[in-house]
Amino acid sequence: MQTRKSRTTGKARSNDSNDTAIDRVLHHLDQVKSIGTGKWQALCPAHDDRRPSLSIKATNDGTVLLKCWAGCGAAEIVSALGLSLGDLFPGDRRNLQDYGTGGPTRRSFDYQDALTGIAHEVTVARLIVEAVNRGDEVDTDTLDRLALAETRISDALSAAGGAQ
Ligand SMILES: [Zn+2]
């Protein structure tokens, strides 16, 4: 059992489907303060931060954006929290075949839903490319997440009756 305080094991992923990306991130930060709707500031875990210089923002689709005013990259920040870039993105529990069907119960193809999913996957890809461009270290979880984005877009295309 967990008897010691730990940033890297257990807690963050332990439960359940209500655990959103923003919850995961805020849970691990210190001196978190809400500064508006979907916006927080906190101590940056990636450098020796004395006053909160990390801005956290949750986008409408649930993606978490991190900005350290001292210049730390998102990959450094999440790795200091024992998380990976993939933890900044929502929806990873959704089954691939659900794309374009509005969820597991609906049958007919829903273009709006499929396009929403694709737009989200493209956002994921952009954030990862930005991290690479900044020279952040990109871990294998993140690369796996990028591969998942490609798979999901292909699956949406298949579900729409397109080419494999
Ligand atoms: Zn920093």
Q: Is the dihedral of CA 68, 58, 5, 75 positive or negative?
A: negative
The residue behind tokens 């849970």 is 27
Low-confidence ranges of the chain (pLDDT < 50): 1-17, 93-97, 106
Q: Which domain holds residue 146?
A: 17-159
Q: From ligand 1's centre to the CA of 79, what distance in Å? A: 12
Strands 64-68, 54-58: pairing is: antiparallel
In this predicted structure, what is the pLDDT of residue 127? Answer: 85
Q: From ligand 1's centre to the CA of 61, what distance in Å? A: 25
Q: Is the pTM of this model over 0.75?
A: no
Q: Looking at the domain assignment, is residue 135 inside a domain? A: yes
The answer to whether the beta carbons of residues 8 and 50 sit under 8 Å apart is no
Q: From ligand 1's centre to the CA of 58, what distance in Å? A: 18
The answer to whether the beta carbons of residues 78 and 85 sit under 8 Å apart is yes
Split into its structural domains, the chain has a count of 1
Helices 111-133 and 140-159: angle between axes, nearest 10 degrees: 150
Which pair of tokens denotes residue 116?
């929403």
Q: Looking at the domain assignment, is residue 69 inside a domain? A: yes
In this predicted structure, what is the pLDDT of residue 6? Answer: 43
DSSP character for 75? H
Q: From ligand 1's centre to the CA of 157, what distance in Å? A: 40
Q: From ligand 1's centre to the CA of 73, what distance in Å? A: 8
Q: From ligand 1's centre to the CA of 125, what distance in Å? A: 23
Could you read off the pLDDT of 58-100 as tens digits, one per residue?
988 788 999 899 988 888 899 899 988 888 887 654 444 455 5
